[in-house]
Amino acid sequence: MYKLELTTVNGLPVLASPELLRERSILIAFTTRQGGVSPAPYNTLNLAAHVGDDIANIQTNRQRLAAALDLDAERLTTAQQTHSRNVAIVDERNAGAGAADYESAIPDTDALVTGLKRTPIAVFTADCVPVILVDPETRRTAVVHAGYKGLYSNIVTAAIEALRADSGGRVGDIIAFVGPAIGVCCYDVDPERAALFAAARTERRNGKIYLDTPGIAADEIQAAGIPAENISVSGLCTACREDLFFSYRRAKVCGRQATIAAIL
The Cα–Cα gap between 134 and 115 comes to 10
User: Is beta strand 12-16 parallel, antiparallel or unpaired with respect to 5-9?
Assistant: antiparallel
Nearest of 58, 46, 111 to residue 247 by alpha carbon:
46
Nearest of 201, 198, 189 to residue 239 by alpha carbon:
189
| Predicted confidence (pLDDT) per residue in 156-179, tens digit | 999 999 999 998 999 999 999 999
Report the CATH number that the domain containing residue 230 is assigned in CATH: 3.60.140.10
DSSP β-bridge partners for residue 140: 135
Please give the pLDDT value at position 96: 98
Please give the pLDDT value at position 74: 97
**Structural domain containing residue 220:** 5-263
Give the mean pLDDT of 75-79. 98
Are 49 and 57 within 8 A, CB to CB? no
The Cα–Cα gap between 251 and 90 comes to 32
Please give the pLDDT value at position 258: 98
SS (HEC) of 120-175: CEEEEECCCEEEEEEECCCCEEEEEEECHHHHHCCHHHHHHHHHHHHHCCCHHHCE
When divided into structural domains, the chain yields a total of 1
pTM: 0.97
Q: φ and ψ at 242, to 5 degrees?
A: -60, -25
* Residue 1: pLDDT over 90: no
Local structure of 210: helix, strand or coil: strand
Sign of CA dihedral 66, 95, 135, 176: positive
